[in-house]
Amino acid sequence: MEHALLQARALIESTVSMHRERQALPSPVARNSVAQLGDAMEQLIGRARHSVAIALTGPGEFTESALRLLARGPARATVRVLCTTDATQVSADRLRRLPQPRLDARVTDSELRRVLVVDGTVALVQAPGHAPDGQFAVVHDTAAVRALELLFAGAWSGSRGLADHLRLSPRLRTELVRNILERLRAGHTDEAAAREINVSLRTYRRYVAEIMRELDANSRFQAGVRAVEYGLLSA
């Protein structure tokens, strides 16, 4: 995912360079200060006709503006909100209160950039979280917007529903549990799996029992299926 994000950033920057001298045409990327962020997002979301895709990475002006604007509900567009676990922790209650009929909120473990894509034709991308100026770019270039839309779609495909995420115990999202789930899915024996992850057989079986209980699974196979459904394992 990090490599893909770097490719998208390079694509946007190359687009800026390619169009820099074409002054007679609208700029493909317009850079702005963080003070203008809320107004820019309001304009883009307000004009959405078909789709709004937005990625939230944590607390800040981008997330605050997005949640405030989405609470009003775009009149016509279908909205997809993709959150990191950090964003979900600070915004879960407000996300659950957003208008539901045309909105779907999901959670991902992938690294995200704060981005808003409207109707697949224009995007807003904010600078990385620790950038000193908090600048953002409004992108009109078709190829760059398409690249950002594809990155969003890729992260969305491996995400889990907000309700499913909130229902899961934090213990299910640890590296040890992921390793156990991988071995359950691969059909390893308990003895072999315990050796591979360097725990005792008794500890391994205790973890398996707890995982099945948390996932409300009646069999190890069903636990593996639900782990994929909930985004604990990739498909």
% of the chain at pLDDT higher than 90:
33
Which of the pair, 145 or 88, is modelled with greater confidence? 145
Least confident of 129-133, 136-140, 211-215: 129-133
Per-residue pLDDT tens for 122-132?
999 987 654 44
- Closest by CA to 183, choosing from 211, 157, 159, 202, is 211
Count of domains forming the chain = 2
pLDDT tens for residues 31-43? Answer: 566 678 889 999 9
Q: Is residue 234 part of a domain?
A: no
- Is 5 a residue whose pLDDT tops 60? no
Coil, strand or helix: which one is 139? strand
Q: Is the pTM of this model over 0.75?
A: no
Q: Given strand 115-118, what is the order of strands in its sheet?
A: 29-32, 136-139, 122-126, 115-118, 51-56, 78-84, 103-108, 160-161
Domain that holds residue 34: 2-160
Q: Both 156 and 57 in a single domain? A: yes
Domain membership of residue 145 (yes or no) is yes
Q: What span, in angstroms and rounded, lies between the C-alpha atoms of 158 and 44? A: 26
CB under 8 A, 24+ apart: contacts of 170-173: 171/210, 171/214, 172/211, 172/214, 172/215, 172/230, 172/232, 173/85, 173/109, 173/232
Output the CA torsion sign for 12, 17, 18, 24: positive
Determine the pLDDT at residue 26: 43
Question: What is the CATH number for 184?
Answer: 1.10.10.10
127 domain residue, yes or no: yes
Q: What is the mean pLDDT of residues 209-214?
A: 88
pLDDT digits (tens, 9 = 90+) for 146-167: 999 999 998 998 888 888 777 7
Same domain, 131 and 176: no
